[in-house]
Amino acid sequence: MGRPVVLSNGQLFVGLDENGLVHDFYYPYVGLDNLTTARSSQHKVGVWVSGDDGDGGQFSWTNDGSWQVTVDFECGMLASAVTMKSEKLGVKLELHDFVDPRQNIFVRRISVYNLRDEEREIRLFMHQVFEISRSGRADTAVYVPEGNYVLDYKGRCCLLIGGKLGGEPAADAKVGPDQYAVGNYAIEGKVGTFKDAEDGELSGNAVEHGGVDSVIRFSQTAPAQGCFEVDYWIVAADSQIDGQVIHDQLMAGQMQQRSVAAHEYWRQWLTPLHGRTAMAEEVRRDIERSLLIVKAHCDARGSVLASGDSSIFNFGRDYYCYCWPRDAAYAIWPLLRIGLYGEAKRFFEFARDTMHQDGYLMHKYQPDRSIGSTWHPLVHGKVRELAIQEDETAIVVYMIGEYFKRSKDLALVNDMYDSFIAKAANFMVSFVDEETGLPHASYDLWEEKFLTSSYTVSTVIAGLETAAVLAQATGHPDDAQRWQTAAAGMRQNLVVLYHPDGYYRKGYLLQPNGDLKFDDTLDISSLFGPYMFAGLQPDDPTLMSTLKHVEERLLNTTPIGGVIRYENDNYFLVKRQYKGNPWIVCSLWLAQIYVSSGRSAEAMALLNWTRDRTLFSGALSEQFDPEDGGSLGVTPLVWSHAEYINTLLDASNTQ
């Protein structure tokens, strides 16, 4: 399962699963820490309804398979539009969820509909399970009677869970939950306190520690074909005192006002997009939705998360909850094109502050700027090597140039020049093999092969040429000349990577004796890199020939179509009769080249292929099953949404 809806304010990030339930809850960074790290845990929603003449009653969790659930975004803001309907119970829930843009509050505004023709009591149960300690053994959950809320805490992380009926100001805490229960979750043979709700009553157990969960209940008599409202919230804070201040504000205020304020916040953020009048409404809607998904993954302190979907941890070794400099650069690119500059500036500061003293960026980083996990060794045979992907350093320099070209913000370039731009450019000039005049080997953009790749060479050319432009703009002509000369030499030697059969190959590895061991794999990045970064025009004979090979060998190699990364790509491939799974990024890269070549029909075919593979909410995965089209990898993948926006802008002739 992916996360069809993601909500965030730059510090608190919430991912809803396909049942509309909270399944990821990151705080205090977007992507760190995930406070719901139990691999199978999700915050449940339960409903009990009274029986005929008040006798007995029925209970159901909304994810038990009997409910019809739709999970979507609300138009124009980072908010959900979730519907849960049970024919059996005669109940429908409509949930409007958002993270407050200015305070760390996750809000669920729930309308509870009685679909029967008789008055009935309906009880709504809200379950929450956190693992603040990460080990599931050291948390505490306690009911606080003074405020009628549950506090889940460990150290300086406090999560306050509360709510109220009716959505109106409430001086009396009795309009909040009328029952509660706290207990153990998934330890000592205990399934979880959520089981306590299934008879419609909660035990009132007031405290527990270890692995804990909790449930609160809201009860109301609903008229025939009528409804009532519940506002539910989780406040994330450093202390109980800070959390209770916000809780008291929520109890005394009107949640509708917060919802309106949140909508206005997102309307203001999207103003640069809405100011573009020459754009089809369908295109604007798709761009808006993808922009919001990208924005949700931007931490307020500069990191840009690859994906907040933790479901990959169920069958993998790690999350995608890191900031890859490459992914982040691609993510901010469409924002720059639209005129949204704040996220880019914060990311550039993040890159500057995490850069190695020798002028390069590492494989990936955690959102708090610490180094991320890696599988790149520091030795190859007996030779010491850097565990880097040089394209990540180069593309950030290139993106600073894109920022400057659009914003004309010379102050930022001056600020970044000595601390980042010059250091990165000098590293790229020095990280070259004399035998070839091309960049020394590093890992390719897919994080798999150690070699000098066509893609990396192209990005380094672009990075050095961009650095030269920025050097001229800031009054450093000597730097500009040196970097421009180095880039020209690499451009001249790019031919080394061209296969006699007529395509740019994946790359080569320089051998100790000076020979070149070529990797002749056809890779979509070996087409896109020379086109986008080395500046080869669509009518360049080498690019045209490479494009022909891509069309024959990477495009539509599976029943569902699309473009695979490269031949014999095994990542997430379970159906070995195919050469790889189709990717959104790869398919849209080809679409962008089609647009620039004037092949608009073929570009639109790939754009429509992408649209056909969105979830109901519009979220895009990384790759797909080659036969049934099921999402593989994480959902949403920020890079997929970035390329979707870029391709839509290209196809709309919007710069």
Residue 602 lies in a domain: yes
Q: What is the pLDDT of residues 572-591, one digit of tens each?
A: 998 999 999 999 999 999 99
Q: How much is the pLDDT for 133?
A: 87
Among 512, 547, 582, which residue terminates a domain?
547
Same domain, yes or no, for 443 and 560?
A: no
- Number of domains the chain contains: 3
At 655, the pLDDT band (50, 70, 90 cuts) reads very low
DSSP strands (E only) in 383-491: 383-384, 432-433, 438-439, 442-443, 450-453
CATH number of the domain residue 256 falls in? 2.70.98.10
Q: What are phi and psi of 339, to 5 degrees?
A: 105, 20
In a domain, 274, yes or no: no
Average pLDDT of the residues in 486-496: 97
Whether residue 511 sits in one domain with residue 594:
no
Average pLDDT over every residue of 473-500: 98
160 touches 149 (CB < 8 A): yes
Q: How does pLDDT run across 94-124, given as a tens digit for each residue?
A: 999 999 999 999 999 999 999 999 999 999 9
Q: Check residue 240 and give its pLDDT.
A: 97
Band of residue 172 on the pLDDT scale cut at 50, 70, 90: low
- 37 with 60, same domain? yes
Can you give the residue range of the structural domain that contains 229?
Answer: 7-268
CATH for 543: 1.50.10.10
The answer as to whether 1 is a domain residue is: no
d(CA 362, CA 359): 10
In the structure, what pLDDT confidence band is assigned to residue 53 with cuts at 50, 70 and 90? low
Asked which of 226, 246, 268 is the last residue of a domain, the reply is: 268
> Percent of the chain scored above 90 by pLDDT?
91
Residue with more model confidence, 252 or 42: 252
At residue 433, does pLDDT exceed 90? yes
Above 80 in pLDDT, residue 535?
Answer: yes
Which of 492, 513, 547 marks a domain boundary? Answer: 547
Inform me whether the pLDDT recorded for 186 exceeds 60.
yes
pLDDT at site 171 = 52
Q: Note whether 547 and 531 are within 8 A (CB).
A: no
pLDDT score at 170: 53
Given pLDDT bands bounded at 50, 70 and 90, which one contains residue 643? Answer: very high
Asked if pLDDT for residue 56 goes beyond 90, the answer is: no
Tell me whether residue 209 is in a domain: yes
Whether 75 and 152 map to the same domain: the answer is yes
Rounded to 5°, the CA angle 487-492-496 comes to 115
pLDDT tops 80 at residue 309: yes
Q: Does 413 lie in the same domain as 355? A: no
Contact 653, 299 (CB under 8 A): no
- Provide the sign of the torsion angle of the four alpha carbons 501, 449, 328, 419, taken in this order: negative
Mark whether 253 and 285 lie in a shared domain.
no
**Residue 583: inside a domain:** yes
- Does residue 273 belong to any structural domain of this protein? no
The count of other CB atoms within 10 Å of the CB of residue 475 is 10
> Do 523 and 575 belong together in one domain?
no
In a domain, 344, yes or no: no
Task: State how far the alpha carbon of 10 is from the alpha carbons of 84, 488, 510, 565, in Å.
Answer: 28, 41, 44, 32
Nearest CA to 638 among 295, 352, 338, 378? 295
Q: Are residues 390 and 362 in the same domain?
A: no
Closest to 462 measured CA to CA, from 401, 516, 410: 401
Does 581 map to a domain?
A: yes
Do 91 and 210 fall within a single domain?
Answer: yes
- Per-residue model confidence (pLDDT) at position 54: 57
Kindly state whether residues 381 and 353 are assigned to the same domain. Answer: no
Considering the domain architecture, whether residues 290 and 393 belong to the same structural domain is answered as no
The least confident of 132-136, 139-143, 522-526, 536-540 is 132-136
Please check whether residues 532 and 628 belong to one and the same domain: no
